[in-house]
Structure 1
Amino acid sequence: ASTFVPGALRKLATGKLGIALLMTMSATGAVILGHVEEAAALAFLYSIAEALEDRAMDRARAGLRALLKLVPQSATVLTDGPSASVPARDLAEGQVMLIRPGERIATDGIVRSGHSSVDTSAITGESIPVEVGPGDEVSAGAINAAGALQVEATAPGTDNSLTTIVSLVERAQAEKGQRARLADRIARPLVPGVLVLAVLVALIGSLAGDPQTWITRALVVLVAASPCALAIAVPITVVSAVGSASKFGVIIKSGAIFERFGDIGHVAFDKTGTLTRNQPTVTAVVPAADVTEQQVLAWAAALEQHSTHPLATAITHAAPTIPAAQGTTEEAGHGIHGTVDGAVVLVGSPRWVDPGDLTYRVRDLEAQGMTVVVVHRDGAVAGAIGVRDELRPEVPEVITTLAGQGIDVTMLTGDNERTARALAAQAGISDVRAELRPEGKSAAVGELSVRRPTAMIGDGINDAPALAAADVGIAMGATGSDAAIESADIAFTGQDLRLLPQAIAHARRGRRIVNQNIVLSLLIIAALPPLAITGVLGLAAVVLIHEVAEVLVILNGLRAARTHQPTRGH
Structure 2
Amino acid sequence: MTCGACASRIESALHATDGVSAAHVNFAAGRASVTYDADLLSEADLLDRISGLGYRATPGELRAVGPEPATTSATALGAALVLAATSMLISSVSALRFTGWEWLVLGITMPVVLVSGLVLHRPGWLAVRRGHATMDTLVSLGSLIAWGWSAVVTVAGFDGHVYFDTAAVIVAVVLGGRRLEARARRRAGDAIGALVGLSAGAVRLPDGRDVPPSQLAVGMTFLVRPGERIAADGVVTEGHSSVDTSILTGEAVPREVAPGDEVTGGMLNTHGALTVEAHRVGADGTLAQVVRLVSEALSRKAPIQRLADRVSAVFVPAVVVVAAATLAAWLLVGPAGEAVSFAVAVLIVACPCALGLATPAAFMAGSGRGARMGVIIRGPDALEAARRIDVVALDKTGTVTEGRLEVVAVEAAEGIDQTAMLAAAAALEARSEHPVAEAIVRAAGDGEGRLAADWPVVAEFRNLPGFGVTGRLAAAVGAADAACDRGTVTVGRAELFAQVPAALARAAADHSAAGRTLVFVGDGGSAQGFLALADRVKPSSAAAVAAWRRAGVEVVLLSGDNGAAATQAGRQVGADRVLAELTPAGKVAEIERLQAAGRRVAMVGDGVNDAPALAAADVGVAVGTGADVAAEASDLTLVGGDLRRAVDALNLARRTLGTIRGNLFWAFAYNTAAIPLAAAGLLRPEIAAAAMGLSSLFVLGNSLRLNRFAGLRP
**Short-chain TM bin:** 0.5 to 0.7
Q: State the Cα deviation string for residues 78-130 of structure 1 (Å, max 9, x = none).
A: xxxxxxxxxxxxxxxxxxxxxxxxxxxxxxxxxxxxxxxxxxxxxxxxxxxxx
**1:447 aligns to what?**
593
- Equivalent position SS for 2:112: helix
The letter of the residue matching 1:19 is G
After superposition, residues 399-414 of structure 1 pair within 5 angstroms as 399-414=545-560
1:545 to 682, 686, 691: 691
Secondary structure of the corresponding residue to residue 394 of structure 1: helix
Counterpart Cα distance in 1 of 2:539 and 2:432: 31
Higher relative contact order by CA 8 Å / sep ≥ 6: 1 or 2?
1
Larger mean CA deviation between 189-198 and 549-558 belongs to 189-198
Residue 461 (str. 1) matches residue 604 (str. 2)? no
Are 1:202 and 2:327 an aligned pair?
yes
Aligned partner of 2:365 in structure 1 is 240
| Alignment check: 8 A CA contact 1:337 1:347 kept | yes
> 1:195-344 to 2 correspondence within 5 Å?
195-203=320-328, 205=329, 212=336, 214-257=339-382, 260-261=385-386, 263-284=388-409, 311=436, 313-314=438-439, 328=465, 336=466
Give the corresponding residue for 2:88. none
Aligned-pair CA distance for 1:186: 4.3
Which ranges in structure 1 are unaligned for 5 or more consecutive residues?
Answer: 62-176, 329-335, 350-355
Rounded to whole Å, the distance in 2 between the matches of 1:441 and 1:304 is 37
**3-state SS, counterpart of residue 539 of structure 2:** coil
Shift of residue 518, structure 1, vs aligned partner: 0.6
- After superposition, the Cα gap between the structure-2 partners of 1:235 and 1:460, relative to the gap in structure 1 and judged at 3 Å, is same
- The equivalent of 1:22 in structure 2 is 145
Task: Report the alpha carbon displacement of residue 28 of structure 1 after superposing the two structures with TM.
Answer: 5.5
Q: 3-state SS of the aligned residue for 2:621?
A: strand
1:7 correspondence with 2:78: no
Counterpart in the other structure of 1:141: none
Counterpart CA distance in 1 for 2:631 and 2:684 is 53
Match of 1:36 in 2: 159
Say if 1:250 and 1:503, in contact at 8 Å, map to a contact too: yes
Task: Decide whether aligned partners of structure 1 residues 413 and 269 sit closer, same or farther in structure 2, where only a CA change above 3 A counts.
Answer: same
Partner amino acid for 2:574?
A: G
Return the offset for 1:511: 1.3
Aligned partners of 2:349 and 2:689 also within 8 Å: yes
CA drift at 1:546? 2.0
Change (3 A) 1:326 1:391: closer
In structure 1, C-alpha distance between the alignment counterparts of 2:413 and 2:559, rounded to whole Å? 29
* Letter of the structure 2 residue corresponding to residue 507 of structure 1: A
Partners in 1 of 2:375 and 2:118 — Cα distance?
A: 40
Q: Give the Å deviation of 1:5.
A: 5.1
Q: Is 1:476 aligned with 2:623? A: yes
Counterpart Cα distance in 1 of 2:168 and 2:700: 13
Paired with 1:416 and 1:307, the residues of 2 have a C-alpha distance of 24
Judged with a 3 Å threshold, the aligned counterparts in structure 2 of structure 1 residues 385 and 549 are, in CA distance, closer, same or farther, namely: same
Letter in 1 for 2:592: G
Query: CA–CA distance in 1 between the matches of 2:628 and 2:494?
Result: 30
Would the aligned equivalents of 2:394 and 2:604 in 1 still touch at CA under 8 Å?
A: yes
Q: C-alpha deviations, 1:491-525, integer Å up to 9, x for none?
A: 32223222222222222221111111011111122
The change in CA–CA distance for 1:20 and 1:445 in structure 2 (over 3 A counts) is same
**1:549-570 superposed Cα distances (whole Å, 9 cap, x missing partner):** 11111121222344436654xx
Assess, with a 3 A threshold, how the Cα gap between structure 1 residues 345 and 566 changes in structure 2: closer, same or farther.
closer
Alpha-carbon distance change, 387 to 185 in structure 1, aligned in 2, over 3 angstroms: same
Go from structure 1 to structure 2 and tell me whether the alpha carbon gap of 1:24 and 1:477 turns closer, same or farther (over 3 Å shift): closer
What secondary structure is seen at the aligned counterpart in 2 of 1:280?
strand
Letter in 2 for 1:20: S
- Once the two structures are superposed, residues 377-407 of structure 1 have per-residue CA deviations (whole angstroms, 9 ceiling, x without a partner) of 9xx9979864233322222222222233443
C-alpha contact 2:369 2:709 (8 A) present in aligned 1: yes
Query: Structure 1 residue 247: deviation in Å?
Result: 2.3
Matches for 1:407-426 after TM superposition, within 5 Å = 407-426=553-572
Q: Secondary structure at the match of 2:561?
A: coil
Give the superposition deviation at 1:449: 4.4
Taking the aligned partners of 1:535 and 1:370, their CA distance within structure 2 comes to 78
SS in 2 for 1:364: helix
Over the aligned positions, Cα root-mean-square deviation in angstroms equals 5.1
Quick one: distance in 2 between partners of 1:411 and 1:22? 57
Distance (whole Å) between structure 2 residues aligned to residue 453 and residue 313 of structure 1: 41
State the identity %. Answer: 30
Q: Secondary structure of the residue that 2:537 maps to in structure 1? A: coil
Question: SS of the counterpart of 1:254?
Answer: coil
Cα distance in 2 for partners of 1:563, 1:305 equals 50
Which deviations, in whole Å up to 9, do the C-alpha atoms of 1:224-277 show, x marking residues without a partner?
322121011111111222133222322333333455445543322222232223
- 2: CA distance, partners of 1:9 / 1:52: 11
CA deviation after TM superposition for structure 1 residue 532, in Å: 2.8
Q: 1:303 to 1:229 in 2, by over 3 A?
A: same
Distance 1:494 1:555 in 2: 30
| Matching residue of 2:542 | 396
Find the structure with the greater CA-based Rg: 2
* Distance in 1 between residues matched to 2:569 and 2:318, nearest whole Å: 61
Q: Which residue of 2 aligns with 1:145?
A: none
Preserved contact between residue 461 and residue 487 of structure 1 (Cα < 8 Å):
no
What is aligned with 1:371?
Answer: 516
SS of structure 1 residue aligned to 2:582: coil
Tell me, which stretches of 5 or more residues in structure 2 are unaligned? 1-104, 125-139, 182-301, 445-454, 472-489, 496-501
Question: AA paired with 1:364?
Answer: D
Distance 1:440 1:313, change over 3 A: farther
Look up the equivalent residue of 1:23 and give its one-letter code: A
Contact 2:395 2:604 in 1 (8 A): yes
Match of 1:170 in 2: none
Partners of 2:536 and 2:319 in 1: how far apart? 64
State how far apart, in whole Å, the 1-side matches of 2:374 and 2:401 are: 19
> 2:327·2:339 contact (CA, 8 Å) conserved in 1?
yes
Distance 1:348 1:234, change over 3 A: farther
d(CA) in 2 for partners of 1:505 and 1:230?
Answer: 24
Partner of 2:638: 492
Amino acid at match of 2:703: G
Q: Which residue of 1 aligns with 2:573?
A: 427
Counterparts in 2 of 1:18 and 1:301: CA distance versus 1, 3 Å? farther
Amino acid at match of 1:256: D
TM-score (norm 2): 0.49
When structure 1 is superposed on structure 2, of 514-523 and 177-186 the one drifting more is 177-186
Is residue 468–residue 493 contact of structure 2 (8 Å, CA) maintained in 1?
no
Distance 2:642 2:461 in 1: 39
